[in-house]
Every structure is written in structure tokens, then in C-alpha cells.
């Protein structure tokens, strides 16, 4: 059966490679007129090839010995799943430092949120940073996770010990849309960025000093700038997890944040008359990375560049823009995951059926022999929920059922509630997130609906594949890089209802062919992406940044 079925899998691939993306940016491509840009899409060979190549184990053999030498790395983030998580950054910040720790001395820096202060971990004060400009003084605490990961926490109760998420209040967790972001977020995250810079420069009185900063998303964007403005060449890696969230604040805040006025220009932190933390990170970092090879290309175009495509094209031309995909950790194993109702493997589907039965009972669906579709997502425009809502009637009429899980924009949540009322027993909308139930839903579902308008990397499709749920997704960003159409899932090319429905219809057809369906599920489960695959490309990038900083320091002498 296996050989025949797998050949059938290959035969149901989509033949269309043309993709169309929706223009969601709110600003015009102003930066294209700046001297450092042109209007051309960056060819693939201009990107850092060692990390955009699909064969991530390819390295320059001359650097083998250097890659094996450990580096001291401070990984700076605003989320870590161990304590506080809003989105995928929390998962990345928990898993990636641990994967890298096999070869490097990696420690994490994060604000001391209420959840961390009230946890069972002992926090020992190990350093202090004085006030700077309008940023308050703070202490640096240290806690050690049970597996040995050292986490530095920025102790500043007036900034971080609040009820809510790291970014604000409201259902989406990001302080955007109908949510209320903290009105001092610029101060809160400038404090984090300045602390990272000062630790790197040895100003925090710690007994450990990093050789390199790895910074994540807009909230850490001022850290490379603070290093630069102090006249140092400590290497900095700045990772863009989602360019759409940029940390834009009023220019009147410059002095309060200790930003030199001569940095407020198109080649510095200025963004359409405002201040952009994201732009600061891109401008001043030694290397800029993002979380998939395709997204690294997409953000150099006006449709995905959010007004920064010109700057990002320049970085790509300089060899300073790379794409390294995220991964998943060993906990995502259907044979051992304790969250599941029953374990299973690609050789035994009984456990998967048991999880499906549980999901139907738990979420109030009627017993069914039809396919079970899952949507586990933030409920925002980016995720294409409008297309899934439009497709829901056809899915139900064809014998399918849908469970939605997530929260976000109020009007999307309301539309899902109404949809569940319209199709009782066939559609359920769970507004919120529950890790236990989410894992059961990944394990019990047959298909994951993920028609994102853009997706820098995405983790849900990897979780689904590992648990034998085939993703149906828009061919964009990390979705294009991690889903093999017709083999480990289904891709559609243009963000139109008809194209999406065609992919769903293909999924229904495969579901009816048991051998083909099982072959695809088996292929998805064995083709997972793991964080271990990221060690070599990140190690090479760290080495490149360190050598670059050394060369710049030598030239300055």
C-alpha cells in the first residue's frame, strides 16, 4: 500500500506556482526614494544563502572548527512560554535558546512580569542599572529553570508587574485593534533594550558578559541602536517575527527615550514622521533575520514590506538579511505527549480516532464519520478568518465539522459565535486558548485551516503535521516552506475564496481515499521541522556577525 499511496500523493500536487498576495500595508513605499534602495525585488542569490537554502546542514567547511566553539549569547525577548505567552514568540523564546545551548552559552533576558515574580522560582538579584534619560533605574534578577536555562529578569515593578499581557489589555494580547496597549510601552521596552545593551557592554555588574545579542521583534529594536550610539561594535542579531507589528511612537518621545536627535531621519529611527522601534532594529543591527526563507524574500517587496521594503532590500543587497525557519520541540510527539487522550503513531490510528471522539464530545459536536477541521489561531484579519467563515457552510454541507479556537478582533469573534449558533453540532467557537485542549484538537482533527494572508513562519502547521492533521494553507511565507502541496498538506495560490475552496475540495477528495489519506498523514508526521536544524545556520550567522564586528573594530583603530 505504502508505495502505491505515496505515488498517488505525488500525483495530487497542485500544478500552479504563481502566487498572489494581498496588500495589507497602511503606508506607501516612501522609502523607495531613499538613496539606499531600488525598485527591484531582491533575487534569491542576494540573500544570505547559508540560511535561506532549504538544506540547512550546508556550511562552509573552512568554518567547522569555529562553528564548534561556543559563544556567549544573550537572547532578549518579551515572551517565554515557561512563564508568559501571547503568540509564537513565546514558543520560540522557550525552545530556541535551549536548542542552541547544546553548542553555546545562551542566557535569556526578559522583563520580570507578575507571572514570573509570583512563580515558584527563586529570583536572586545579581545586578543593577541606573536611570537613563526618562527610563527608571532597575535591578537584574536571575532565575534558573529546572533544565538549567538561566533567565535574567528585569526587575522594575512600576513597568512590568501589571494585570494583563506584556503589551496591554484585551483579548488579542497585543495591545492592538480594540485592545488597549499600555500607554508607556515605549518606556517599558526601551528600558528592556537599554538593559540588553548595557549588559552587553559590561555595565550591569554581572559575573557574565555576552559576546553577542540576539534580539527579537520591535520591543527589542532599540538595543542595537543603544549599542551603536555608545560607540561600540558589539554584534547584534535582530529577528523579525512579524513585520506588521512595528512599535511606532510619537517623535516627541525621543528625549525621554534617550534617542539622539540626529538619529531622527530616514536613515535612522524616523518612520513617516514618527519613531519606529522595528526600523531602529533593522537599521542598526549587525544582521537581520526573519523566520522563513520565503518571508525573507517577501518583506523586500512593497506588498509585504510594511513601508520598510526599501530598507530591507538594502540589507539584502549587503548580505545582512537572512531567513532561518522556526521549528518545534520534542514535546510535540503523538507517541508520548501526556496531553493527549490516547497516544498514536502513523502505524496505529486508533489513538487519533480516540482524540477525535474526545474533541467532538468536549466541544459539543455530534458524532460523525466526516472530516474534522480545526482552526487554532489568533482571530485577526491576517489569518484569513473571513475566508474560512465564508467556506464554513460548504464544509458543513459536505459532511465536515469545524472547531475554532483563539481570540482576537472583536468583530471576528462575534462572527464566529454567530456561525456556531447557525450550525449547532457542526461548528464550535472557543474564544480563548487552552494548551491542553489545543493539543487534543491538533491530534483529533483531520485538517487544519490556515488561509493566512501572510505568515512569517507559522508553528500551527508544524504542530498539525506532527499530529497527523493536514494543513490547508495559503502559499506564503513559512507555510510555503513547510508544507509540500499534495504530500504533507494542501496549498492554494491566490487569496481568493474560489482558490481556497478548491484546496478544501481536494482535501475532501483525499479524505475519501483511505490509503492516500493515511499516506499523506504519515508523510506529514515524519517530515517535521525541529529546532535542532536551526543550530548550524544560527551558529554560522553568529560567527559572521562576530567576525564582522572584529573587522569593523580593527578599521576604527
Tens-digit pLDDT profile for residues 414-449: 999 999 999 999 999 999 989 999 999 999 999 999
HSE, CB side, 13 Å, CA atoms: give it for residue 314: 16
Burial of 361 (0-12, 13-18, 19+ CB in 10 A): exposed
Same fold, 21-32+329-525 and 44-327+532-556: yes
Residue 428, strand partner residues: 403
Per-residue model confidence (pLDDT) at position 58: 28
Task: Give dist(CA 220, CA 247) in Å, integer.
Answer: 10
Q: In this model, does residue 27 exceed pLDDT 70?
A: no
Residue with the bigger pLDDT between 222 and 165: it is 222
Dist CA 111 CA 78 (whole Å): 7
Compute the Cα dihedral for 359, 361, 363, 369 and give only its sign: positive
Cβ(497)–Cβ(391) below 8 Å: yes
Model pLDDT, residue 274 = 97
pLDDT at 535 > cutoff 80:
yes
Residue 194: closest CA among 222, 153, 213, 217? 222
Residue 38 clears pLDDT 70, i.e. is over it: no
Domain residue ranges in the chain: 21-32+329-525, 44-327+532-556
pLDDT band of 528, cuts 50, 70, 90? low
CA angle 94, 244, 42 (to 5 degrees): 100
Q: In the predicted model, what is the mean pLDDT of residues 262-281?
A: 97
DSSP letters, 416-475, are HHHHHHHSTTTEEEEEB--HHHHHHHHHH-SEEEE--S--SS-SHHHHHHHTT-EEEEES
Averaged pLDDT, 24-44: 37
Cβ–Cβ under 8 Å, residues 309 and 316: no
What does the pLDDT read at residue 103?
Answer: 92
Residues above pLDDT 90, as percent of the chain: 77
Residues 247 and 189 sit within 8 Å (Cβ to Cβ): yes
CATH 3.40.50.300 correct for 44-327+532-556: no
Q: Beta partners for 70?
A: none
Lowest mean pLDDT of 47-61, 67-81, 218-232, name the range: 47-61
Predicted TM-score (pTM) of this structure: 0.86
111 CB-near residues (< 8 Å, 6+ apart): 78, 153, 154, 156, 159, 160, 166, 188, 192
Lowest mean pLDDT among 38-52, 137-151, 288-302, 356-370: 38-52
> What integer is the mean pLDDT of 485-493?
97
Query: Tens digit of pLDDT for each residue in 440-455?
Result: 999 999 999 999 999 9
Find out whether 422 and 358 touch, Cβ atoms under 8 Å.
no
Strand partners, 408: 379
Q: Quick one: residue 267, left, alpha or beta (phi over 0 = left, psi -120 to 50 = alpha)?
A: alpha
Compute the half-sphere exposure of residue 278: CA atoms within 13 Å on the CB side of its CA. 23
283 or 12, which is more confident: 283
Instruction: Spell out the alpha helix ranges (H) of 130-253.
Output: 157-160, 185-200, 222-229
Q: Specify the CATH architecture of the domain 21-32+329-525.
A: 3-Layer(aba) Sandwich (3.40)
Please, are residues 186 and 249 in contact by the beta-carbon 8 Å criterion? yes
pLDDT tens string 323-346: 999 999 888 999 999 999 999 999
Q: Quick one: DSSP state of residue 10? A: H
pLDDT at 64 over 90: no
Please say whether the beta carbons of 468 and 352 come within 8 A: yes
Compute the average pLDDT of residues 80-85.
94
66 is known to lie in a ligand binding site: no
What whole-number distance in Å separates Cα of residue 346 and Cα of residue 57?
Answer: 27
C-beta separation of 503 from 384 below 8 A: no
Residue 69 pLDDT exceeds 90: no
Place of cell 545556520: 537
Radius of gyration of the chain (CA): 23
Residue 33, pLDDT above cutoff 50: no
330 burial type by CB count under 10 A (0-12 exposed, 13-18 middle, 19+ buried): exposed
Confidence class for position 173, pLDDT limits 50, 70, 90: low
pLDDT of res. 23: 36
Taking residues 265-275, what's their average pLDDT?
96
User: How sure is the predictor about 557, in pLDDT bands with cuts at 50, 70 and 90?
Assistant: low
Residues 467-495 have a mean pLDDT of: 97
Percent of the chain whose pLDDT exceeds 70: 85
Mean per-residue pLDDT, 467-488: 97
Closest by CA to 470, choosing from 481, 453, 455, 482, is 482
Give the residue, 30 or 545, on which the prediction is more confident. Answer: 545
Amino acid at each position: 500500500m505504502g508505495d502505491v499511496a505515496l505515488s498517488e500523493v505525488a500525483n495530487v500536487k497542485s500544478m500552479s506556482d504563481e502566487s498572489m498576495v494581498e496588500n495589507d500595508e497602511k503606508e506607501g513605499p516612501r522609502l523607495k526614494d531613499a538613496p539606499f534602495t531600488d525598485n527591484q525585488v531582491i533575487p534569491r542569490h542576494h540573500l544570505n544563502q547559508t540560511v535561506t537554502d532549504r538544506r540547512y546542514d550546508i556550511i562552509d567547511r573552512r568554518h567547522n572548527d569555529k562553528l564548534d566553539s561556543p559563544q556567549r549569547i544573550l537572547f532578549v525577548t518579551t515572551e517565554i512560554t515557561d512563564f508568559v505567552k501571547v503568540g509564537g514568540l513565546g514558543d520560540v523564546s522557550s525552545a530556541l535558546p535551549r536548542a542552541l545551548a547544546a553548542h553555546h552559552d545562551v542566557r535569556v533576558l526578559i522583563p520580570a512580569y507578575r507571572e514570573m515574580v509570583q512563580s515558584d522560582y527563586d529570583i536572586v538579584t545579581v545586578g543593577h542599572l541606573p536611570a537613563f534619560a526618562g527610563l527608571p533605574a532597575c535591578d537584574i534578577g536571575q532565575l534558573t529553570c529546572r533544565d538549567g536555562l538561566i533567565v535574567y529578569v528585569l526587575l522594575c515593578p512600576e513597568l512590568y508587574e501589571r494585570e494583563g499581557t506584556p503589551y496591554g489589555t484585551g483579548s488579542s494580547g497585543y495591545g492592538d485593534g480594540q485592545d488597549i496597549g499600555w500607554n508607556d510601552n515605549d518606556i517599558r521596552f526601551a528600558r528592556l533594550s537599554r538593559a540588553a545593551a548595557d549588559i552587553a557592554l559590561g555595565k550591569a555588574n554581572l559575573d557574565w558578559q555576552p559576546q553577542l545579542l540576539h534580539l527579537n521583534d520591535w520591543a527589542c529594536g532599540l538595543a542595537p541602536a543603544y549599542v551603536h550610539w555608545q560607540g561600540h561594535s558589539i554584534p547584534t542579531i535582530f529577528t523579525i517575527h512579524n513585520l506588521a507589528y512595528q512599535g511606532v511612537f510619537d517623535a516627541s518621545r525621543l528625549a525621554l527615550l534617550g534617542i539622539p536627535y540626529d538619529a531622527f531621519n530616514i536613515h535612522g529611527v524616523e518612520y513617516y514622521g514618527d519613531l519606529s522601534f522595528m526600523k531602529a532594529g533593522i537599521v542598526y543591527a549587525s544582521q537581520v533575520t526573519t523566520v522563513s526563507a520565503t518571508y525573507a524574500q517577501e518583506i523586500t517587496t512593497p506588498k509585504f514590506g510594511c513601508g520598510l521594503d526599501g530598507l530591507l532590500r538594502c540589507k539584502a543587497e549587503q548580505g545582512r538579511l537572512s531567513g532561518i525557519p522556526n521549528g518545534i520541540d520534542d514535546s510535540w510527539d503523538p507517541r508520548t505527549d501526556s496531553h493527549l487522550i490516547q497516544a498514536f503513531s502513523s502505524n496505529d490510528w486508533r489513538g487519533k480516532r480516540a482524540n477525535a471522539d474526545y474533541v467532538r464530545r468536549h466541544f459539543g459536536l455530534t458524532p460523525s464519520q466526516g472530516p474534522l477541521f480545526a482552526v487554532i489561531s489568533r482571530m485577526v484579519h491576517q489569518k484569513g478568518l473571513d475566508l474560512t467563515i465564508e467556506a464554513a457552510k460548504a464544509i458543513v454541507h459536505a459532511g465536515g465539522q469545524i472547531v475554532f479556537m483563539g481570540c482576537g478582533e472583536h468583530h471576528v469573534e462575534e462572527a464566529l459565535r454567530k456561525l456556531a449558533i447557525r450550525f449547532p453540532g457542526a461548528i464550535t467557537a472557543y474564544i480563548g486558548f487552552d494548551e491542553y485542549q489545543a493539543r487534543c484538537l491538533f491530534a483529533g482533527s483531520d485538517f487544519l485551516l490556515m488561509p493566512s494572508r501572510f505568515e512569517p513562519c507559522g508553528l500551527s502547521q508544524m504542530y498539525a503535521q506532527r499530529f497527523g492533521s493536514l494543513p490547508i494553507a495559503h502559499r506564503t511565507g513559512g507555510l510555503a516552506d513547510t508544507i509540500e502541496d499534495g504530500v504533507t498538506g494542501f496549498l492554494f495560490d491566490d487569496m481568493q475564496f474560489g482558490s481556497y475552496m478548491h484546496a478544501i475540495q481536494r482535501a475532501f477528495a483525499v479524505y475519501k481515499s483511505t490509503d492516500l489519506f493515511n499516506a499523506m498523514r504519515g508523510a506529514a508526521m515524519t517530515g517535521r521541522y525541529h529546532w535542532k536544524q536551526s543550530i548550524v545556520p544560527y551558529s554560522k550567522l553568529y560567527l559572521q556577525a562576530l567576525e564582522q564586528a572584529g573587522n569593523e573594530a580593527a578599521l576604527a583603530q
